[in-house]
């Protein structure tokens, strides 16, 4: 049905964007908006959004025996998940966790992940999802910076953290999931508190604790990074996440009306989640909407295309994606045609540059609707969305903003708004924008201005409001959806005794979007090999941050008058990798 509608291009678009918004957001309509004051700024919000995480979790219980999560042979219903959330919330409180305390999470995608997250937020604690790919040093930084009182993690992450316990004075309690070795204080088994996922349905029926939650209470700290290379914690509110539930629904309805299709009654779907839940995309744009609608989320221990095909066929998966890398692997696998993938209705992604070719292949070869969008940690994911014919006609765009969001293009002076079509820094505003950075007032003041977030992205808007991201003003590389900040890797390289000058650049990659590569100048008489420096980085940072190639130059690197390295001049050193 999806491809038939996309093939009938003569009827598209059935409505203008303005007409769609008027229809969907009319008084009394599901997506009605109102203007309220948020931190002194008049802001359009979704009038019918759930007020906070507690209301969302209570709503999720109404899905009853519908499956909430599937992980290998573990199947957890919404009723069982609710009981586990309520039970773990009481455990947190028994450990002294109060409103405003930080509860960190560090684990792969498991049924325990949403339980640990929501158990924290429903009691007013601030959930701190940490990057499960981080090294022990990086995890310790996140725990220390957030001042986490309690940590829920899996055994693999715990093994990385244990050597750093002496550096974590605030960490009073750790609950470790799926541990096979004996644990010592402050760690205990999570299963001793709430049991294993397949037994959660036997937990006592108890109400959620009353935490007196308000929409603009603090809810999360999600770590991003800035030009300093040190991670910064974006402080999100309950409203930020509840906004995304409505924005996702609005986007789907907008796509249907643009195509001239009726909006069907809400129906639970099955999604294959293949990106980490610590990402704003999977957490905010994915999990929040699934909880509200009763969708089933399937988790994989590790993404493998063949395994994904088996799951899609067996579980009749309706949607998957996350980053372009995943879509490419599904498309290009030689055994794809051996599986029945007809249930797949949509393949969506964001978080990395994608080729227009990918959009056409999803629609043409997978017979699914391609979808895309733009957001960032500081916007709690979704600001713009793109799908179906709109995406096929503008494959370089990330779509128009949702109705409660505003975009503008600003000159480098930070005060002059540029006209349609001009390239400048993208600024975004709306109820999805976080409060600021955790304990970093200077960085907050520099990035958040009167309700707007300065994104650091260079972009333009067309006359209909479609956004085109052209480059990133910040020195950031996105590899398969993972952010890599140049200065962080450069600082590690500088720590090597042979390195006196270096720069990290991004090389285009058809599937991953980009890959990191380094240019290095060694000190007089010093020596180092490519493999040696890669091993040096690998020992100190997550594996996805290791440069895929290193080139050595005899002179110091070229710089402009301000002393900034001219990275564009360095890309020619990697022409032998251009076909990657």
How do residues 206-226 score in pLDDT, each as one tens digit?
A: 999 999 999 999 999 999 854
How far, in Å, CA of 261 to CA of 150, rounded?
48
Which residues, given as ranges, of the chain have pLDDT below 50? 1-9, 226-228, 561-562, 579-580
* Domains of the chain, earliest start first: 2-48+236-472 (3.40.50.12780), 54-213 (3.40.50.980), 476-577 (3.30.300.30)
How far, in Å, CA of 329 to CA of 284, rounded?
24
Phi–psi pair at 26, nearest 5 degrees = -65, 155
For 168-196, b where at least 16 C-beta lie within 10 A, e where not — what string?
Answer: beebbbbbbbbbeeebeeebbebbebbbe
Contact indicator for 78, 64 with CB cutoff of 8 Å = yes
Helix (H, G, I), strand (E, B) or coil at 60: helix
Q: What is the pLDDT of residue 10?
A: 57
Q: What is the pTM of this model?
A: 0.86
Q: CB neighbours of 96 closer than 8 A, spacing ≥ 6?
A: 149, 172
Q: What is the pLDDT of residue 117?
A: 99
User: Can you spell out the DSSP letters for 401-430?
Assistant: BPTT-EEEEE-TTSSPBPPTT--EEEEEES
The tens digit of pLDDT for each residue in 79-101 reads 999 999 999 999 999 999 999 99
Q: CB neighbours of 28 closer than 8 A, spacing ≥ 6?
A: none
How far, in Å, CA of 187 to CA of 272, rounded?
32
Q: What is the pLDDT of residue 325?
A: 73
Contact indicator for 247, 374 with CB cutoff of 8 Å = no
Phi–psi pair at 524, nearest 5 degrees = -55, 125
Q: What is the pLDDT of residue 369?
A: 93
3-state helix, strand, coil in the chain (%, to 5): 35, 25, 40
Tokens matching residue 58:
């209570």
Name the one residue in this structure whose structure tokens are 């808007």.
461
Q: What is the pLDDT of residue 352?
A: 56
Q: What is the pLDDT of residue 473?
A: 65
Tokens matching residue 135:
């090294």
CA atoms within 13 A on the CB side of 79: 9
Tokens matching residue 108:
């792969």
Helix (H, G, I), strand (E, B) or coil at 579: coil
Q: What is the pLDDT of residue 355?
A: 67
Q: What is the pLDDT of residue 57?
A: 98
Strand 406-410 versus strand 187-189 pairing type: unpaired
């Amino acid at each position: 049905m999806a491809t038939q509608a996309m093939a009938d291009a003569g009827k598209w678009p059935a409505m203008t964007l303005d007409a769609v918004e008027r229809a969907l957001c009319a008084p009394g309509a599901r997506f009605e908006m109102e203007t309220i004051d948020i931190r002194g700024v008049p802001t359009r919000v979704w009038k019918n959004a759930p007020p906070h995480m507690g209301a969302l979790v209570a709503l999720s219980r109404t899905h009853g025996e519908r499956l909430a999560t599937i992980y290998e042979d573990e199947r957890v219903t919404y009723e069982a998940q609710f009981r586990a959330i309520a039970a773990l919330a009481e455990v947190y409180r028994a450990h002294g966790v109060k409103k405003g305390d930080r509860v960190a999470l560090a684990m792969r995608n498991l049924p325990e992940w949403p339980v640990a997250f929501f158990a924290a937020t429903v009691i007013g604690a601030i959930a701190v999802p940490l990057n499960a790919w981080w090294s022990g040093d990086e995890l310790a930084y996140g725990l220390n910076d957030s001042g986490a009182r309690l940590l829920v993690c899996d055994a693999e992450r715990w093994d990385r953290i244990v050597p750093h316990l002496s550096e974590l004075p605030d960490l009073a309690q750790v609950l470790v999931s799926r541990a096979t070795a004996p644990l010592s204080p402050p760690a205990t088994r999570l299963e001793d508190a709430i049991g294993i996922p397949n037994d959660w349905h036997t937990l006592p029926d108890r109400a959620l604790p009353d935490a007196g939650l308000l929409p603009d209470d603090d809810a999360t700290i999600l770590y991003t990074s800035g030009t300093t290379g040190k991670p910064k914690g974006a402080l999100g509110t309950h409203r930020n996440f509840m906004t995304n539930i409505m924005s996702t629904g609005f986007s789907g309805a907008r796509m249907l009306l643009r195509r001239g299709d009726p909006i069907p009654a809400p129906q639970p779907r099955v999604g294959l989640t293949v990106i980490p839940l610590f990402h704003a995309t999977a957490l905010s744009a994915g999990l929040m909407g699934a909880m509200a609608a009763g969708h089933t989320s399937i988790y994989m221990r590790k993404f493998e295309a063949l395994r994904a095909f088996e799951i899609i066929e067996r579980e009749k998966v309706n949607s998957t994606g996350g980053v372009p890398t995943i879509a490419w692997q599904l498309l290009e696998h030689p055994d794809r045609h051996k599986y029945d993938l007809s249930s797949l209705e949509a393949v969506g992604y964001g978080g990395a540059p994608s080729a227009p070719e990918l959009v056409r292949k999803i629609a043409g070869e997978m017979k699914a609707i391609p979808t895309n969008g733009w957001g960032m940690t500081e916007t709690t994911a979704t600001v713009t969305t793109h799908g179906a014919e709109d995406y096929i006609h503008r494959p370089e765009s990330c779509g128009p903003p949702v109705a409660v969001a505003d975009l503008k293009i600003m000159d480098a002076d930070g005060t002059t708004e540029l006209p349609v079509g001009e390239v400048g820094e993208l600024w975004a505003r709306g109820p999805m924008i976080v409060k600021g950075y955790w304990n970093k007032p200077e960085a907050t003041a520099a990035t958040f201005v009167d309700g707007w977030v300065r994104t650091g992205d260079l972009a333009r808007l067309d006359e209909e409001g479609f956004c085109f991201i052209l480059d990133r003003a910040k020195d950031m590389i996105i590899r398969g959806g993972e952010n890599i900040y140049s200065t962080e890797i450069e600082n590690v390289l500088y720590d090597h005794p042979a390195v006196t000058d270096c720069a990290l650049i991004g090389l285009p990659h058809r599937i991953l979007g980009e890959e990191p590569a380094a240019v290095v100048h060694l000190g007089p008489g010093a020596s180092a090999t490519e493999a040696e420096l890669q091993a040096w980085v690998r020992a100190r940072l997550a594996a996805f941050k290791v440069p895929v190639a290193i080139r050595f130059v005899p002179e110091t690197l070229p710089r402009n008058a301000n002393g900034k390295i001219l990275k564009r001049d360095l890309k020619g050193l990697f022409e032998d990798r251009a076909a990657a």
